[in-house]
Amino acid sequence: MAWSLRRRLIVSLAPLGILLLVLGVIGLAVLFYMGGRINAILKENYVSVQAMFLMNEHLERMDSSFQFALAGREADARAQFEANWAGFGQQFRVEENNITILPIEQELVDRLRVLKDDYRARGERFYARPAGSPERTTDYFGTPNDPGLLGRFLEIKTVSGEILRINQENMFQARDEARATARTALLGLGLALAILVVFLGGVTWYLLRTILAPIRATTLAAQDIGAGRLDREVPVFAGDELGRLAETFNAMTRQLRGYRETNLARLLRAQRTAQATIDSFPDPILVVDPNGRVELANPAARTLFGVTLPKDGQPGPVWHPPEPIRQPIHDALNVQRDHLTESFDQAVSFRLGDEDRVYLPQVRPIRDPDGDTLGAAVVLNDVTRFRLLDQFKSDLVATVSHELKTPLTSVRLAVHVLLEEAVGPLTPKQTELLVDARDNAERLLRLIEHLLALARLQRPHGGTSFRPEDPVALLRRAADGARARAEDKHVELTVNADGAVPPVAADADRLTLALSNLIDNAVTYTPAGGRVTLSAAAGPDGRVTLSVADTGVGIPAEHLPHVFDKFFRVPGRSTEGGTGLGLAIVKEVVEAHRGEVTCASAPGQGTVFRITLPASGGGGRPDEH
Ligand code: ADP
Contact 507, 593 (CB under 8 A): yes
For residue 552, the ligand 1 atom closest to its alpha carbon is: 24
Atom of ligand 1 lying closest to residue 526 CA: 24
pLDDT in tens, 350-379: 888 888 899 999 999 999 999 899 999 999
Q: For atom 8 of ligand 1, which residue has the closest CA?
A: 580
Helix axis angle, 241-279 relative to 5-40, nearest 10°?
150
Name the burial class of residue 550, with classes exposed (0-12), middle (13-18) and buried (19+) by CB atoms within 10 angstroms of its CB: buried
Rounded Cα distance between 13 and 17, Å, is 6
- What's the pLDDT at 452? 86
CA distance 164 to 50: 8
Position in ligand 1 atom list of the atom nearest CA 581: 6
Residue 519 Cα to ligand 1 midpoint, Å, equals: 10
- Atom 19 of ligand 1, residue of closest alpha carbon: 521
d(CA 321, CA 293): 10
pLDDT at 57: 94
Residue to substitute in 443, 583, 587, 611 for testing ligand 1 pocket (most ligand atoms within 8 angstroms of CB): 583
Pair 625, 592: CB distance under 8 Å: yes
pLDDT digits over 292-315, tens only?
A: 888 888 999 998 888 887 776 677
Question: Do 199 and 15 meet the contact criterion of CB atoms below 8 Å apart?
Answer: yes
Q: Angle CA(295)–CA(298)–CA(300) in degrees, nearest 5? A: 135
Report which of 518, 465, 511 is spatially closest to residue 613, judged by C-alpha positions.
Answer: 511
Tell me whether residue 140 is exposed, middle or buried, using C-beta atoms within 10 angstroms of its C-beta: 0 to 12, 13 to 18, 19 or more: buried
Say if residue 365 is preceded by a cis peptide, omega within 30 of 0. Answer: no
pLDDT, position 619 = 42
Confidence of residue 1 (pLDDT cuts 50, 70, 90): low
DSSP string, 434-495: HHHHHHHHHHHHHHHHHHHHHHHHHSTT-----EEE-HHHHHHHHHHHHHHHHHHHT-EEEE
Question: What backbone torsions phi and psi does residue 382 show, to the nearest 5 degrees?
Answer: -80, 110
State whether the beta carbon of 324 lies less than 6 angstroms from ligand 1. no
Picking from 362, 190, 199, 391, the residue whose alpha carbon sits closest to that of residue 283 is 362
* Cβ of 568 less than 6 Å from ligand 1: yes
Count other Cβ atoms within 10 Å, centred on residue 451: 21
Q: Residue 582 Cα, ligand 1 centroid: separation in angstroms?
A: 7
- Identify which of 205-214, 225-234, 579-588 has the greatest average pLDDT: 579-588
Predicted model pTM = 0.48
End-to-end Cα distance, the chain: 96
Rounded Cα gap, residues 471 and 611, in angstroms: 11
pLDDT tens digits for range 372-424 = 999 999 999 999 998 889 888 888 888 888 888 999 999 999 999 999 998 88
The amino acid present at 364, given as its one-letter code, is: R
